[in-house]
Structure 1
Amino acid sequence: MKFTQRTRGIVQALAVVLSLAVPVMFAISAADARPGGGGSSGSRGSRTYSAPPPTATAPNAAQPMNRTMTQPGSPGVAGPAAAGAAAKGGMFNKPGMGMLGGLAAGFLGAGLLGMLFGGGLFSGLGGMASIIGLILQIGLIFIVVKLAMSWWQRRHSPATASAYAGPAPGAAVGPGGPQNSLRTGTGFGLGSGSAPLEIQPADYETFERLLGDVQTAWSNEDVDKLHTLATPEMVMYFTKDLEENKAKNDINKVSDVKLLQGDLAEAWREGETDYASVAMRFSLVDKTLERGTNRLVAGSEQPVEATEVWTFVRRRGESWELSAIQQT
């Protein structure tokens, strides 16, 4: 009898854990299929683990990296140990699971401890209503923790260098008052001019061009072209995602990419390497087709909007390359 009760408790525990994990899995599969997969990937040198400052285009804190080869505390150089750590994962340590997966793991662990001490996996729950109440409590905890983390990141972020920032000390003031933003003609604001690394209008034109070129190369599954547009790390992620699409017999097509608004979050130099993190709001047609038949699997012909922070890297004397994409 006790064995039957414990077995029933295990089944109930697995049901609840799956009810928490499965929606996350479906959310990932139904997420935007554009380059980056709607996640945060890549490296930002020594600032990989610090969020870019919020801007007028992206006022919310950027999400931390789901995939990166940069080790915490390193000067931005990815090593084999980082790749091994990223590949290990575990049952509740998969990219995309995040805090919800951790809560599910903790919940299951607590249930197993209860079973070991004779209380059963669901001692005290008292039926389905209590299970639903527990799930709601976990959801509330998740929301509160997320809000607290966002507040903490905003409080400790450096001053914003955005398109609508005030003039830098000593900046010229026109007859109409302080000049709050300079427009480049490409949709980008030049920021306050206080960034340690000065970004020129030609750089913004390059960033906008890379936004479109990366999407085009992705749609054409042109890995060779991606190697000329992004860092080896980003190309590795793109290649992995493209291979997964092929395994599912899908192909993602992105078209009509238009930059709507953009501004500089931060720009800095590390040795001979320049970095620029730029917030971009853009529209695009994002659809996934069945390979060979062109049957629509996901997305639509209607344009959708996305806001992301793209980080570009440039070694002295070389061209800008995409080194990271972060969601906001």
Structure 2
Amino acid sequence: MRFTQRAHGFVQAIAVILSLALPVMLAASSADARIGGGVSSGSRGARTFSAPPSTSTAPGTAQPFNRTTAEPGSPGLGAPAGGGFFNRPGGGMLRGLFAGFLGAGLLGMLFGGGMFGGLGGLSSIFGLILQIGLIIIVVRLAMSWWQRRHETAYAGAAAGIGAPSSFRAATGFGLGSGSAPLELIPSDYEAFERLLGEIQAAWSNEDIGKLRTLATPEMVSYFTGDLDANKARNQINKTSYVKLLQGDLAEAWREGDSDFASVAMRFSLIDKTIDRTTGQLVAGSETPSEVTEVWTFLRPRGAGWELSAIQQT
């Protein structure tokens, strides 16, 4: 009897751990070895803590920054305004919905209640898995509904006004007052596409000197750390055959003597990690894959564009 109770408690503990770890596992599964490591890094000036507007290329919400030197409330930066799904204005209803479902599931597991009467048998374990799946589905549906509801509140819907290559410019710019709207010209879009290829090539060649000419010091510091981590594992990440498939301007604005532009880009590339000694494939593939990210570019007055941030979608 005691053995059965201990086994029952062990299964309960494992179920709780899995239910708490599941969102982290889902988030981590999307990370890649390409430049930026598949995470959101960098700064967007005063809008670092505001999500870029949705576009047809990236209709979802960009992820908040995992790595940034910006601080909420510091000079020139506003308080966080939407840095992620659960921090968006008006997100209390969805936070409460998720917390309610998660709390109900955990309490059901711990006290033998819940949708399938606890973990007393094999059928209850399957019931738990189904319950967790239903929670994820409900939350995703709620996120989708929230996104559709607020899409019209953001500037930057793509409208195809003659931008070059695969880019489509936006009809409006900016989120809020205090920053002058910025109009981009075809050469700006050409620069964004060129930087996409040159930055990937410099990363693949582990050319820190070249990266310093293409990105801000903050982004170069992240790239340097990632390259050092690869070297410590005796690995090298190679990206090649980078091709822009579609791009949209999310927003462009001016802060003091600097211009900013956030663009959603869907591109294909071969992303593979190989062993430095043997040359054997460690991760990735020789087959091209597609990636959608939001890149923010910074242009100091009198200078050219440089990469300021990469955000996952």
Instruction: Tell me which interval the TM-score lies in, with the shorter structure as reference length.
Output: 0.7 to 0.9
Question: What's the TM-score, normalizing by structure 2?
Answer: 0.75
Write out per-residue CA displacement over residues 123-145 of structure 1, whole angstroms, 9 at most, x where no aligned residue.
94313432332233223223322
User: Deviation digits for residues 187-225 of structure 1, max 9, x if unmatched?
Assistant: 222332666111122211111111111111211222232
What residue in structure 1 maps to residue 233 of structure 2?
248
Identify which range, 25-34 or 241-250, moves more after superposition: 25-34
**Contact 1:288–1:297 (CA<8 Å) still a contact in 2?**
yes
Displacement of 1:263: 1.7
Query: C-alpha distance in 2, partners of 1:230/1:24?
Result: 29
Distance (whole Å) between structure 2 residues aligned to residue 7 and residue 71 of structure 1: 47
Q: What amino acid does structure 2 have at the position aligned with 1:243? A: D
- Greater mean deviation of Cα atoms: 46-55 or 127-136: 127-136
Superposed, 1:120-139 pairs within 5 Å as: 124-139=118-133
Aligned counterpart, 2:48: 48
Task: Report the RMSD for the aligned CA atoms in angstroms.
Answer: 3.5
Distance in 1 (alpha carbons) for counterparts of 2:286 and 2:299: 35
**One-letter amino acid of the counterpart of residue 63, structure 2:** Q
Work out the percentage of aligned pairs sharing the same amino acid.
62
Q: Deviations over 1:124-168 (max 9, x none)?
A: 4313432332233223223322332343344335444344x2xxx
1:14-53 alignment, distance < 5 Å = 14-17=13-16, 19-20=18-19, 21=21, 24-25=24-25, 28=28, 31-53=31-53
Q: Partners in 1 of 2:147 and 2:49 — Cα distance?
A: 11
What runs of 5+ residues in structure 1 fail to find an aligned partner? 79-98, 166-179
2:139 matched residue in structure 1: 145
| 2-structure distance, mates of 1:243, 1:211 | 22
Q: Residue 324 of structure 1: CA displacement?
A: 1.4
Q: Which runs of 5+ in 2 are unaligned?
A: 79-94, 175-180
Could you say which residue in structure 2 is the equivalent of 1:206? 191
CA contact (8 A) 1:182 1:191 kept: no
How many residue pairs match? The answer is 283
Query: TM-score scaled by structure 1?
Result: 0.72
State the partner residue of 2:171: 192
**Amino acid corresponding to residue 138 of structure 2 in structure 1:** V
The SS at the match of 1:309 is strand
Aligned-pair CA distance for 1:326? 1.6
In structure 2, what is the Cα distance between the partners aligned to 1:297 and 1:132?
35
Deviation at 1:13, TM superposition (A): 4.1
Any idea what the Cα deviations from partners look like across 1:87-131, whole Å, max 9, x if unmatched?
Answer: xxxxxxxxxxxx9xx98xx77x957x95xxxx6999943134323
**Residues 161 and 168 of structure 2 are in contact (CA less than 8 Å); yes or no, is this contact kept in structure 1?**
yes
The 2-side partners of 1:32 and 1:207 are apart by 22
Tell me the residue number matched to 2:211.
Answer: 226
Residue of structure 2 in register with 1:238 after alignment: 223
CA displacement at 1:227 relative to structure 2: 2.3
- Corresponding residue of 1:57: 57
Q: Match of 2:37, SS?
A: coil
Counterparts of 1:1-328 in structure 2 under 5 Å? 8=7, 11-17=10-16, 19-20=18-19, 21=21, 24-25=24-25, 28=28, 31-74=31-74, 124-157=118-151, 158-163=153-158, 165=159, 180-184=160-164, 186-192=165-171, 196-328=181-313
Counterpart in the other structure of 1:82 = none
The change in CA–CA distance for 1:220 and 1:121 in structure 2 (over 3 A counts) is farther
CA contact (8 A) 2:247 2:263 kept: yes
Alpha-carbon offset, residue 267 of structure 1: 0.6
1:45–1:75 contact (8 Å) kept in structure 2 = no
Match of 1:174 in 2: none
Specify the alignment match of 1:92 in structure 2: none
Distance across 1 between alignment mates of 2:275 and 2:214: 27
Deviates more, 1:150-159 or 1:30-39: 150-159
Alpha-carbon spacing, 1:294–1:55, altered in 2? closer, same or farther (3 Å) = same
Between the aligned partners of 1:17 and 1:192, the Cα distance in structure 2 is 47
Aligned AA (1:191):
A
Residue 308 of structure 2 aligns to a residue whose secondary structure is strand
